[in-house]
Structure 1
Amino acid sequence: MKNINRLFLMVFSLVFITSCDKDFDEMNVSKTAATAIDPAFILNRAVLNSSFQTAQLVYEIGIVQQIVTPNSGVLTGANYNQDNRASTQGNWQNYYRNVIRNTKDVIAQASGDPARTNLVSMARILQANAFMVLTDTYGNIPYSEGGDGYNTQIFFPSYDTQESIYPKIIQELQEASAALSASGRVERADVLFGGDVEKWRKFGYSLMLRAGMRLSEVSPATAQSTVAAAFNGGVILTNDNNAFIRHDANYANPMGNTLNSTEAANFYLAKPFVDALQSTNDPRLSAIAIRYVGATSGPTQVVEVGSNAAADQIGMPLGHDNGTVTGAAEADGLASFYDYSQVDRRRMAKLGSPAFLVTAAQTNLLLAEARVRGWITSGTAAQYFAAGISAHMDQLATFDAASAVAAPDRDSYVAANPLGAGTELEQINTQYWIASFLNGPEAFANFRRSGFPALSPNPFPGREVTFINRLTYPNSEISVNTEQVNAAIAAQGADDLETKVWWDK
């Protein structure tokens, strides 16, 4: 009897277990979790991550002598002209991991759907921008196989030379811009332009214009044909077509977030930048700057002592650490180095401040140079020059209403600073430097290409190089993709701050 009961219990248990296992896999699948993501949302992630990162305060914006810090440690970089790979890796990690990986995913998912051709073109344009930033920053980089680890499991990508990359970037921009169709699906989820294909087209051709101008010193013929094709395609000429990333408290501007938190009292407007604006009575200085008069510490940088008046602004001289900068401040008649001018973090560098990728100001100024060179025949260089300056002054209101430049002040400045014969390239590219404020990669790239403004070397006694010409490869890349990195270094030159990228002549 005991055996029968035991057998019955075993049979019952097996039946119970079997019944419990029935449809078990279906029971453990969420009925509400997403099983697929619309690639338009993946593109949005790439757009948001195209914003300028905090590391650019340490390097690019400091290299072009617009913002500087006297502090060392994690902030060591352009302030001392020294290599700090904790920061030189910033563009590499952000653009490969957070932009290109996502744009390649969008292209892979949407390419098979004829209704999403506009989305594919948008992803190609944004990806071209990312690759341009990367190659301008480092020189030779993984391009053909770059960012393919996610989709094709290429984990040790080979490096392409910059000379071979640029024609491919230009081709991508030309093809993608031309392929955008007003009759195609409107990608309304797009956070950059709301799916407006004409604005995307102008963005693409404006990037193509930028890429063409990059080649002005190494391949003038290619530069000319590229610039002409971009101009004929239609570029950004007015601020309503500007390509900029919108931020808010949830999606904060990375540099604004830094300048309003841990580094609020550590970064200052550099003397060359402040002096350049003051010397021409540029109304943009009061729109950009604030000086906390008499401040002796970070906590004393309060609104009550803040002045936006151009006459009150004093830029921090280069070449100092946090020991010697005290003497510099005393020589300038200041209470401390906290008394130097800063970018106004309550107007220009807020959490919600926009990040401008390509603007009418930049494009008009590039066209002014192209007209001087005879690469386009429409309009005059003087007209494009004036339009570029005016566009940037008007653009400042997008940061904050309190940063708006009054129209009479704008017009007076433009009238008092016309394009002069014999100094056109210097004037145009100095204005481009001003118009690219807070766009570190572009200001750094155009400064190297053009040689303007004529900045003096950073005089810091412990500097490693006279001028920084490129940023160094990440240690993580060197340790993991060693063979390919070594091949790139052998082709390009030493992996240091002095080696020049291909187009930098």
Structure 2
Amino acid sequence: MKKIFVYSLFIGLTVFVFSCDKGLEDLNKNKVNPTAVDPVFLLNNAVINSSYPVKALVFDMGIVQQMISPNGGVLAGANFNQDSRDVTTAPMWAVYYQNVIKYNYDVIVNTKNVPARSNLYNMARIFQAFSFMVLTDEYGDIPYTDAGTGYSNQLFLPKYDAQQSIYPKIIQELTDATAALNAGGTIESSDVLYSGDIAKWKKFGYSLLLRAGMRLSKADAAKAQTTVAAAFAGGVILTNADNAYIRHDANYNQPIGGTLNGSEAANFYLAKPFVDQLKNTNDPRLSAIAIRYVGATSGNGQTVGAGTTNAAQQIGMPMGKDNGTIVAQATADGLASFYDYSQADRRRIVKTTSPVFLVSAAQTNLLLAEARFRGWIAAGTAAQYFSDGIKAHMDQMATYDVNSAVAAGARDTYVAANPLGVGTELNQINTQYWIASFLNGPEAFANFRRSGFPLLTPNPYGQPNNPDVPNGTFIRRLTYPTSELSVNTTNVNAAIASQGPDKLSTKVWWDK
């Protein structure tokens, strides 16, 4: 009887244990943890991470003499003709390769053989081409073929491709991917750039193709012409309703706006060449962009009450002054201190929620003005594209803030007073492109090198004995980050051997 009881107890406990185990199996399943991510959200991550980092402020915008800082340390860069790769050049490289390129690549891999996601596949190809164009324009030879394959192919030390071989591939990708977009296919409405609007994505793709073609105007004029003609025939961005730009909010701050509303609020100023260009032509955009805190002797003095947006009172900071020499310069300019120079208004145009424009109607119309002047397209007139580009940028200013809007009357008065002249076409067109690309540092830097306009005086700082930037010249590219030199040594050294010294003065392939 005792044995029967023991056996019965054993059987009961066994059944109980197995029953508990079965229940625990269900309990151990995390029903809210995703095992897969819709690739459209990966594309969104690529888009929002492409907002230009502070590096664009320290280098690109300083090189083209739009905004500078007289302070050194982590802010040293273009204003000192100084190579500061550890703290300024690495972020663009790291952010784009570790986020933008990687996410785009994952979308491409995961949608390539999924017909229902064909539009998403081609959208990612277009955005990947844009991303590579930014990187190769900044650095020259870069990882292209092997880029983004760390996870899929376990390739952690990518080889570098020559820029001369990268550009034809970018052009082909933009051509094929844009043509393949299909309004009858799946509409990726969760896309943060255009909400899946295929017509707008096509215009974005062809506008990038136009940009890529124009980039080759001196390196390969024949290829440039055929590429530009194909882009124009496809249909490009001509109105602000189709602009490609990144929206920011309280949760996702604009990188440059975050910097200029934080620790560096009192450290960056509008450069004298930029202010003078706008001021001397009575350009209403100066009041839309600038603020000067009259009489400020410190950052604390830059208060709303001291601020003026009156164009007549704006004074740009001269190039090549450090925090020692700028003191005497400010006195000579009749200012209380260097804190009294004009700034980009951080309460309007460079808020933490300000948009970042990637491709705009203003830029595209101005490129078409040059293309028409060169005879590369037959429709329209260079003069009309020129005036349309100026108008588009002035109208675009309202997107930053209602208080940065340019009145239609002021816009039309300026356009009428500044028509496209004879014999100065390329200078005028590309000077307006420089203005229209304000806050888009990489594009302003690239087009300045390509076109040679506006006619800026080289930054005098550190010359004539500067080993990085020879006397009377400009910075022509950014140097590779230290991480590449120390980790991917063999491949980066091969690129340097092919392209030229890893210096700020070495030109990229298309910069003739």
Q: Decide: shared fold, TM above 0.5.
A: yes
Q: 1:258 is matched with which residue?
A: 259
1:474 aligns with 2:475: no
Aligned-residue offset at 1:18: 6.5
Inter-partner Cα distance in structure 1 for 2:276 and 2:188: 45
Inter-partner Cα distance in structure 2 for 1:197 and 1:299: 49
Aligned-residue offset at 1:90: 2.1
CA 1:13–1:57 in structure 2 vs 1: closer, same or farther (change >3 Å)?
A: farther
Aligned-residue offset at 1:88: 1.1
Aligned-residue offset at 1:156: 1.0
Inter-partner Cα distance in structure 2 for 1:336 and 1:35: 58
Inter-partner Cα distance in structure 2 for 1:198 and 1:257: 33
User: Is 1:188–1:195's contact at 8 Å kept on the other side of the alignment?
Assistant: yes
**Letter paired with 2:83:** D
Identical pairs, percent:
67
Q: 1:338 is matched with which residue?
A: 339
Q: 2:145 is matched with which residue?
A: 144
Inter-partner Cα distance in structure 1 for 2:304 and 2:447: 35
User: Is 1:101–1:150's contact at 8 Å kept on the other side of the alignment?
Assistant: no
| Correspondences of 1:173-212 after superposition (within 5 Å) | 173-212=174-213
**Letter paired with 2:124:** A
1:62 aligns with 2:62: yes
CA 1:20–1:203 in structure 2 vs 1: closer, same or farther (change >3 Å)?
A: same
CA 1:21–1:475 in structure 2 vs 1: closer, same or farther (change >3 Å)?
A: farther
Inter-partner Cα distance in structure 1 for 2:195 and 2:267: 37
Inter-partner Cα distance in structure 1 for 2:486 and 2:7: 63
Inter-partner Cα distance in structure 1 for 2:213 and 2:353: 32
Inter-partner Cα distance in structure 2 for 1:91 and 1:7: 72
Aligned-residue offset at 1:172: 0.5
Q: 1:165 is matched with which residue?
A: 166
Aligned-residue offset at 1:470: 0.4
TM-score normalised according to structure 1 size: 0.96
Inter-partner Cα distance in structure 2 for 1:222 and 1:181: 27
| Correspondences of 1:96-135 after superposition (within 5 Å) | 96-135=97-136
Inter-partner Cα distance in structure 2 for 1:297 and 1:179: 56
Aligned-residue offset at 1:302: 0.5
User: Is 1:283–1:409's contact at 8 Å kept on the other side of the alignment?
Assistant: yes
CA 1:32–1:388 in structure 2 vs 1: closer, same or farther (change >3 Å)?
A: same
Inter-partner Cα distance in structure 1 for 2:105 and 2:213: 24
**Letter paired with 1:379:** G
Inter-partner Cα distance in structure 2 for 1:297 and 1:13: 79
**Letter paired with 2:379:** S
Q: 1:495 is matched with which residue?
A: 502
Q: 1:369 is matched with which residue?
A: 370
**Letter paired with 1:499:** T
**Letter paired with 1:389:** I
How big is each residue's C-alpha offset from its partner over 1:174-209, in whole Å with a ceiling of 9 and x where there is no partner? 111101111011111011111100000000000000
How big is each residue's C-alpha offset from its partner over 1:16-49, in whole Å with a ceiling of 9 and x where there is no partner? 8766555655432211121211111111111101
Give the SS at the match of 1:372.
helix
| Correspondences of 1:301-320 after superposition (within 5 Å) | 301-320=302-321
* Pairs aligned (count): 504
User: Is 2:207–2:237's contact at 8 Å kept on the other side of the alignment?
Assistant: yes
Aligned-residue offset at 1:7: 12
**Letter paired with 2:46:** A
User: Is 2:228–2:371's contact at 8 Å kept on the other side of the alignment?
Assistant: yes
Q: 1:272 is matched with which residue?
A: 273
Q: 2:27 is matched with which residue?
A: 27
Give the SS at the match of 1:210.
helix
User: Is 2:53–2:92's contact at 8 Å kept on the other side of the alignment?
Assistant: yes
Judge which range, 135-144 or 103-112, deviates more.
103-112
Cα-Cα RMSD: 2.0
How big is each residue's C-alpha offset from its partner over 1:340-366, in whole Å with a ceiling of 9 and x where there is no partner? 000000110011101000000000000
CA 1:339–1:30 in structure 2 vs 1: closer, same or farther (change >3 Å)?
A: same
How big is each residue's C-alpha offset from its partner over 1:267-303, in whole Å with a ceiling of 9 and x where there is no partner? 0000010011111111100000000000111111001
Aligned-residue offset at 1:151: 2.2
Inter-partner Cα distance in structure 2 for 1:92 and 1:14: 60
Q: 2:39 is matched with which residue?
A: 39
**Letter paired with 1:281:** N
Inter-partner Cα distance in structure 1 for 2:232 and 2:397: 25
CA 1:18–1:249 in structure 2 vs 1: closer, same or farther (change >3 Å)?
A: same
1:52 aligns with 2:66: no
**Letter paired with 2:53:** Q
How big is each residue's C-alpha offset from its partner over 1:318-353, in whole Å with a ceiling of 9 and x where there is no partner? 111111111110010000000000000011001110
Q: 2:3 is matched with which residue?
A: none
Inter-partner Cα distance in structure 1 for 2:298 and 2:12: 78
Inter-partner Cα distance in structure 1 for 2:7 and 2:79: 83
Inter-partner Cα distance in structure 1 for 2:165 and 2:236: 25
Inter-partner Cα distance in structure 1 for 2:198 and 2:185: 9
Inter-partner Cα distance in structure 2 for 1:135 and 1:7: 77
Inter-partner Cα distance in structure 2 for 1:104 and 1:291: 44
1:452 aligns with 2:453: yes
Inter-partner Cα distance in structure 1 for 2:17 and 2:300: 67
User: Is 2:269–2:343's contact at 8 Å kept on the other side of the alignment?
Assistant: yes
User: Is 1:457–1:467's contact at 8 Å kept on the other side of the alignment?
Assistant: yes
- Structure 1: segments with no counterpart, 5+ residues: 1-5
User: Is 2:81–2:462's contact at 8 Å kept on the other side of the alignment?
Assistant: no
| Correspondences of 1:276-295 after superposition (within 5 Å) | 276-295=277-296
Give the SS at the match of 1:61.
helix
Inter-partner Cα distance in structure 1 for 2:294 and 2:28: 63
Q: 1:73 is matched with which residue?
A: 73
Inter-partner Cα distance in structure 2 for 1:16 and 1:146: 55
Q: 1:358 is matched with which residue?
A: 359
**Letter paired with 2:416:** A
CA 1:365–1:15 in structure 2 vs 1: closer, same or farther (change >3 Å)?
A: same
- Structure 2: segments with no counterpart, 5+ residues: 1-5
